[in-house]
Amino acid sequence: MPLRTKRIYDPPSPDDGFRLLIMRLWPRGIRKELTDAWDRGLAPSRELLAEFNAGTMDSPAYQQRFLHEMATRPDSIDALTSLKSLVDTQTVTLLCSCKDENRCHRRLVRELIEAPPASP
- What total number of domains does the chain contain? 1
The answer to whether position 89 is within a domain reads yes
**What is the tens place of the pLDDT at every residue in 77-103?**
999 999 999 999 999 999 999 998 888
The answer to whether position 74 is within a domain reads yes
**pTM for this predicted structure:** 0.92
The answer to whether position 37 is within a domain reads yes
Angstrom distance (rounded) from CA 39 to CA 53: 21
Query: Which value, to the nearest 10 degrees, does the dihedral of the CA atoms of residues 78, 30, 94, 84 take?
Result: 30
Which residue range forms the structural domain that includes residue 54?
Answer: 3-114
Q: Binning pLDDT at 50, 70 and 90, where does residue 115 land?
A: confident
The answer to whether position 120 is within a domain reads no
* CA 89, 117, 43, 77 torsion-angle sign: positive
Per-residue pLDDT at 6: 96
